[in-house]
Amino acid sequence: MEALEEAELCFPQLNNSCRKTTRPHLEAAFINSLLSCITLLTVVLNLLVIISISHFRQLHTTTNLLLLSLAVADFLVGLLQMPVLLLHNQGCVILGDIICALHYFFAFLVVSVSVGSMVLISVDRYIAICDPMFYTTKVTLKRVQLCVCLCWIFSIVHSSWILRDFFKQPGRYSTCYGECVVVVNFAEGMVDLVVTFLGPFLVITLLYLRVFVVAVSQARAMRSHIAAVTLQRPETVKASKSEMKAARTLGVVVVVFLLCSCPYYCFAVAAESNLVGASSAAIELWLVYFNSCLNPVIYVFFYPWFRKAIKHIVTFQLLKPGSTEANIL
């Protein structure tokens, strides 16, 4: 009996060690296999997005730069967050307090960057659809690069501020050795809720409602004058259709992000205290991270250029001289 109890401890040699989370063997094997596959897909698919946009010159656009920022955040989720969360599912943190602190720092960071990228994508689509005449003058590559840098800087500052007390004493809320728990105070939790969910949710919703209204009116106008416009300005029709398709695709990305994030933030609001490390939040947290795997899947279905880029990458055509100038669009 004592041997069994010792086997259930994270660190059998320590009396104050936490106990492992025990599940039936088949259930544990299935869950670990599923989550491992999701982790691998998240890393591989987002790496393909990063390579595609970075390598092919045709993809060096302002909108794709925002997608690149989002893909980097999603890649970090799969590379750094998901593997540690797999260890958390066993109820043990075997890598120490420093890794625990870094894990939560990157958790706040990547979510904050993802939200910021979603807001920037919404603004980009809003200007492209609602003010197309001035899109090229308002949305320049340098301005988008500045916005992306500011998004990452703000996310780093925000994450550091939220966890400033935790960094001073990482294990202060742990009840046993091998546990990784962070408690966010009510005031800081509310700031995080407003900054990373409620505020962006309101901005994104209002912008896309406006985009939807304008898109519908433009579609009606195009149907009414399609013959005349096609004969006189075919390039305008093609550009409008391209912008509409991009708006729909990125709209799907935003909606999926909100659907994956809502359960976790609803849990955070309903919880008595904002205990991020609580086991009851594991499903909601994995759903937030699962969104990082879904984004590149959406690109595969909606973006022909991404499918072409993947073909070039897996067949090693990008290693050929001049491959950066390949026709991807």
Q: Do residues 119 and 196 make contact, with C-beta atoms less than 8 angstroms apart?
A: no
Taking all residues of the chain, what is their mean pLDDT, rounded to a whole number? 79
**Confidence band of 3 (pLDDT split at 50, 70, 90):** very low
pTM, rounded to two decimals? 0.82
- Write out pLDDT tens, residues 68-92: 999 999 999 999 888 888 877 666 6
Report angle CA 297, 302, 304 to the nearest 5 degrees.
105
Q: 253-286: per-residue pLDDT in tens? A: 778 888 888 887 777 666 544 444 444 567 788 8
Residues forming beta bridges with residue 177, ordered by sequence position? 17
Cβ density class 43-79: b for 16+ within 10 Å, e for less: bebbbbbbbbbebbeebeebbbbbbbbbbbbbbbbbe
For the ranges 66-70, 226-230, 311-315, the lowest mean pLDDT is seen at 226-230
CA angle 98, 103, 107 (to 5 degrees): 150
- Taking CA atoms, 18 is separated from 45, 69, 87, 178, in Å, by 35, 38, 13, 6
Element (H, E) at 308: helix 304-314
Burial 232-269 (b: 16+ CB within 10 A, else e): eeeeeeeebeebbebbebbbebbebbbebbeebbebbe
Give the integer Cα–Cα distance in Å for 258 and 263. Answer: 9
Confidence of residue 1 (pLDDT cuts 50, 70, 90): very low
How far apart, in Å, do the first and last CA atoms of the chain sit?
66
What is 26-325's CATH superfamily? Answer: Rhodopsin 7-helix transmembrane proteins (1.20.1070.10)
| pLDDT at residue 243, rounded to an integer | 59
The residues spanned by each domain of the chain are 26-325
Neighbour count for residue 121 (Cβ, 10 Å): 24
Round to whole Å and give the CA distance between 302 and 252: 10
Q: What's the pLDDT band for 32 if we cut at 50, 70, 90?
A: confident
